[in-house]
Amino acid sequence: MVLQLRTSREEATIADTTALIAVGHISGTFGSDHFAPTHMLFLTENDRASWTLTTLREEADGPITWIPYSPATLVDDAMLMVAVHVLQDEGVLEAASRVVPGIAGDRADLNTAAHGSELGGVYERCRTLRSGCSMVVTVLAGSSLVPLLVVFDRYPFDVRVCREDGARDDE
């Protein structure tokens, strides 16, 4: 296989990463709120968006990839992915497995008509978790995640947002 460098945006043939979410815990060492990430989520977009989760641990399995239900649920799908694969919450996993068989595997497609109305209850279950989980979200200009940043407020996680364009979170 021959790899070629892209020379223009129109020639893009691979998905572009438009947002990153580092997941972990506030370490509290040295009297501060230092962050100790354990996992990374990458939002890639072009023809079809996907979330890819990787672990930062040495004994890691391969990456896990999900196709989100819809552009409007990008944050909800990422939080569900964290609940299932990072926090490994049994209640969320059980509920999600009834809606999306195989969701605990390394690939899941939430983008089917059958999942739409049923995923709402699973997202709601994620919003009740009490994990102490922290996230640092980095969003690049043009990401589909930009208008959805307020959705993170629905979840009980400590979320800090870094935006490329320098705009405030509430804009």
CB-based burial of residue 43 (10 Å sphere; 0-12 exposed, 13-18 middle, 19+ buried)?
A: buried
Task: Answer yes or no: is 26 within a domain.
Answer: yes
Residue 4 lies in a domain: no
Residue 168 counted as domain residue: no
Helix (H, G, I), strand (E, B) or coil at 38: strand
Q: Does the pLDDT at position 2 exceed 60?
A: no
Residues in a beta bridge with 22 = 40, 136
The Cα 87–Cα 157 span in angstroms is: 12
Within 10 A of 159 (CB to CB), how many other CB atoms are there? 18
Instruction: Tell me the residue range of the domain where 74 lies.
Output: 9-163
Residue 97 belongs to a domain: yes
Tell me the one-letter amino acid at 167.
A
Is 171 domain-assigned? no
**Spatial CA neighbour of 151 closest among 81, 70, 76:** 76
The domain total for the chain is: 1
Q: pLDDT for 89-101, tens place per residue? A: 999 999 999 999 8
Residue 69 belongs to some domain of the structure: yes
Lowest mean pLDDT: which of 22-26, 118-122, 131-135? 131-135
For residue 78, being part of any structural domain is answered with yes
pTM of the full structure: 0.84
54 falls within a domain:
yes
At 8 the pLDDT is 42
Burial profile 72-89: b = 16 or more Cβ within 10 angstroms, e = fewer: ebbbbbbbbbbbbbbbeb
Query: Is the model's pLDDT at 150 over the cut of 70?
Result: yes
| Strand boundaries in the chain, DSSP class E | 16-26, 35-45, 50-55, 64-67, 107-109, 134-139, 158-163
